[in-house]
Structure 1
Amino acid sequence: MQFYVLAGLLAVMAVALLALALRLGGRFGWVAAWMRGNLMLVLLALVAVLALAAFDVSRFQSLERSSQVATLQLHETGPQRFEVLLEGAELSRMMVVHGDMWDLDVQVLRWNGLAQLLGLKDGYRLNRMSGRFVALEQQEAASNAQPRGLNDTPAWRDIWLWLDRLHEPVLVEADAFVVRFMPLVDGARYRLDIGPTGITPVPLNEQAERQFRPQ
Structure 2
Amino acid sequence: MGVDSFVSWLRDVAVSLHDNAAYLTELDSAIGDADHGANMDRGFQAVVGVLDETSFDSADELLKKAGMTLVSKVGGASGPLYGTFFLRFGTALAGADLTPETIGKGLHAGVEGVLARGKAELGDKTMYDAWAPALEAYDAAVAGGSDLGTALTAAAEAAAKGRDATIPLVARKGRASYLGERSAGHQDPGATSTTLILESAARTLP
Q: What TM-score, normalized by structure 2, do the two folds share? A: 0.22
Query: Which structure carries more strand by proportion?
Result: 1
Normalized per residue, which structure has more helix? 2
